């Protein structure tokens, strides 16, 4: 395994300040007092970057931030030694809240939407990307596009990365994903529900094969705590995740993306990487 020398460029265009509120019991329609509150970094791309750092990699998080919440987010990224390049936008970086109830494995998410981008925000983002050295870089792209971004935003990034000889791991559904496939992402990481919603029908393997025909080099389908499936042009594998007692499942899929990105950066073959 070669050492990690190139940055892993993590695209997370809708980061947030994540508040985790813990309760002994949550009662709808009543006053609920949290017994513990944790404030941290959130958003799919930011989660991926944090996991890359914890795995010994050198992430660079690319995204949009604004206001006092954006400044707080950058201070927390600095504290965790996660590198970043941000485009500053009007309005506040969003706050998202996770409600955790003692003894209950399910969590409740209260999610703010990011304020819409202005017409020139995405142009500034593409100028930032064009300034990066993407040769041999691994570029995880995670999450939904912010309002105001062009629907082919991910395709634009995939094209830049592909032309420079980098590799994209994309975790996003819908039309932005479909438009990006012609630029041959090395892995599409997607859950089963999003895959079928994106490709149509109810046949997971058929949907994977169609995605390969459109340009994806491989597809990894996650299904929460159930087995996952990996499909490329030559094989189909079923993967069994370890059984754990989950405290808070938020970010677990992003950790999978980070693990794949680090493995690709260090030259690990696909099966041990998975």
Q: Which residues are catalytic?
A: 254
* DSSP state letters, 162-179: HHHT-EEEEE--HHHHHH
Contacts of 217 (CB under 8 A, 6+ apart): 184, 185, 186, 187, 232, 233
Bridge partners of 170? 141, 188
- 39 vs 19, 21, 152, 184, CA distance in Å? 5, 9, 33, 37
Contacts of 204 (CB under 8 A, 6+ apart): 192, 195, 196, 221, 229
Bridge partners of 173? none
Beta strand 16-23 pairing with 94-101: parallel
CA 183 to chain centre: 19
């Amino acid at each position: 395994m070669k050492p990690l020398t190139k940055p892993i460029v993590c695209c997370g265009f809708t980061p947030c300040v994540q508040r985790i509120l813990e309760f002994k019991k949550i009662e709808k329609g009543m006053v609920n007092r949290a017994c513990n509150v944790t404030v941290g970094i959130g958003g799919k791309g930011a989660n991926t970057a944090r996991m890359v750092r914890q795995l010994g990699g050198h992430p660079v998080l690319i995204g949009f931030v604004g206001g006092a919440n954006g400044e707080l987010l950058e201070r927390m990224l600095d504290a965790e030694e996660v590198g970043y390049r941000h485009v500053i936008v009007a309005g506040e970086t969003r706050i998202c809240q996770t409600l955790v109830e003692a003894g209950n494995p399910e969590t409740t998410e209260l999610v703010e939407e990011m304020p819409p981008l202005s017409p020139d925000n995405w142009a500034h983002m593409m100028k930032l990307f064009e300034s990066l050295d993407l040769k041999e870089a691994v570029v995880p792209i995670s999450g939904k596009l912010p309002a105001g971004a062009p629907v082919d935003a991910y395709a634009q990034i995939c094209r830049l990365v592909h032309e420079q000889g980098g590799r994209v791991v994309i975790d996003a559904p819908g039309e932005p994903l479909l438009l990006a496939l012609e630029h041959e992402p090395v892995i599409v990481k997607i859950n089963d529900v999003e895959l079928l919603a994106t490709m149509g029908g109810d046949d997971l393997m058929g949907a994977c094969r169609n995605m390969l025909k459109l340009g994806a080099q491989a597809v990894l389908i996650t299904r929460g705590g159930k087995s996952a499936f990996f499909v490329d042009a030559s094989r189909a594998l079923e993967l069994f995740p370890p059984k754990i007692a989950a405290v808070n499942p938020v970010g677990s899929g992003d950790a999978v993306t980070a693990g794949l990105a680090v493995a690709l950066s260090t030259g690990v073959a696909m099966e041990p990487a998975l």
